[in-house]
Amino acid sequence: MTETKMRVFLPVLIVLVATTLCVQGDNATEIAENKVEIKFYRLQVSEWDSGLMESKFHALLASETNTYCASNLAACGLIGLQSEFKDSHIGKVDNSPLNDDKDMLYEFYIMYPENSNKSSPSVLTYVLSESVVKTIILQLRTNTDYISSLGCDKCYITYIGSDFYGIPPSALENKIIIPLAFLVLLIVIIIAISLTLWDKRREKEARFQKMHKPKPKGSQYPTKPAPPKTTELPDEKV
C-alpha cells in the first residue's frame, strides 16, 4: 500500500518541482531568454568606447523604459512605477559589444528595479520580457534623436533581434528628395493633362473637318468602291 502510494506520489512531486523551477527560472535563465541584440549601422567598438557611448545609451534606454512603462504598466508587468528604471538597470551581455564587419552588435537586457511590484505572478522576476525590450528600443529609435545623443555619425539601429528596420534617409536627403518627388509628380500630371487635351482637340478638329468638307468625295467614290457600304445603304433607305 505505501509502496504504491510512493510510486504515484514521487513522480508527481518531481514533476511539480521541475515545473516550478522552469516557470520561475533564475536570474541567469531569465537574462538568457530575454536579452535582445541590436545592430548599430556603421559603428565600431573602438568608437563606442572612445565616445563613452555605453553610459549614454544606457541612460537613454532607462529614460525610454520609464516613459514606455509609465503609460503601458500592464505590458511591463507592473502595478505602478514605484521605483524608476535607472541606467544601472540596463545590463549588457558579457561578450557585448562586437564588431560585425562595419557595423556593431550590442546585446543587452533590462532589469526590474528593486522593490518594483509586479502585476501578476506570471511576470518575470528579474528582467523585462524580450518583447517589451524590443518595443522600448523601437520607441527609442522612433521618438528620440539617439544618434546625436550618442554623438556618432550614422549609427542607426538597423536591426532589433532579427527584424530589419532600414536606414532612415538623413534630414538633408529628405529636404532634397521629397520636393524632387513632388516636382516629378507635377510634371507627370501636366504631361498627362496636356496629352489628353491635345488628343481631344485633334479629335474635335478631325470631326469638324469631316462635317464641313464640301463632299468632293463623290468623285472619289468610283475609284474606291466599298462593297459592304454600297450594299447596305440602299437596303436601309428602302
Per CB under 6 A, residues contacting ligand NAG are 27, 31, 79, 82, 91, 115, 117, 126
User: Could you tell me the smallest distance in angstroms from the CB atom of residue 93 to ligand NAG?
Assistant: 9
Q: Which is nearer to ligand NAG, 79 or 189 (CB)?
A: 79
Pull the grid cell for residue 16: 511539480
Stated as kind and residue range, the H or E segment containing 45 is: helix 45-50
Q: How far apart are CA 96 and CA 19, in angstroms?
A: 32
Q: Which is nearer to ligand NAG, 43 or 78 (CB)?
A: 78
User: Could you tell me the smallest distance in angstroms from the CB atom of residue 170 to ligand NAG?
Assistant: 37
User: Could you tell me the smallest distance in angstroms from the CB atom of residue 94 to ligand NAG?
Assistant: 9
**Interacting residues of 124 by C-beta distance below 8 A, sequence separation 6+:** 25, 30, 34, 77, 112
Q: Which is nearer to ligand NAG, 92 or 134 (CB)?
A: 92
Q: Which is nearer to ligand NAG, 126 or 165 (CB)?
A: 126
Q: How far apart are CA 227 and CA 91, in angstroms?
A: 93
CA 40 distance to own-chain centroid = 16
Q: Which is nearer to ligand NAG, 97 or 159 (CB)?
A: 97
User: Could you tell me the smallest distance in angstroms from the CB atom of residue 41 to ligand NAG?
Assistant: 28
Q: How far apart are CA 210 and CA 133, in angstroms?
A: 76
User: Could you tell me the smallest distance in angstroms from the CB atom of residue 9 to ligand NAG?
Assistant: 34
Helix 27-34 with 130-143: angle, nearest 10 deg? 50
Q: How far apart are CA 118 and CA 18, in angstroms?
A: 23
Q: Which is nearer to ligand NAG, 82 or 174 (CB)?
A: 82
**Interacting residues of 167 by C-beta distance below 8 A, sequence separation 6+:** 41, 154, 156, 158
Pull the grid cell for residue 123: 511576470
User: Could you tell me the smallest distance in angstroms from the CB atom of residue 157 to ligand NAG?
Assistant: 23
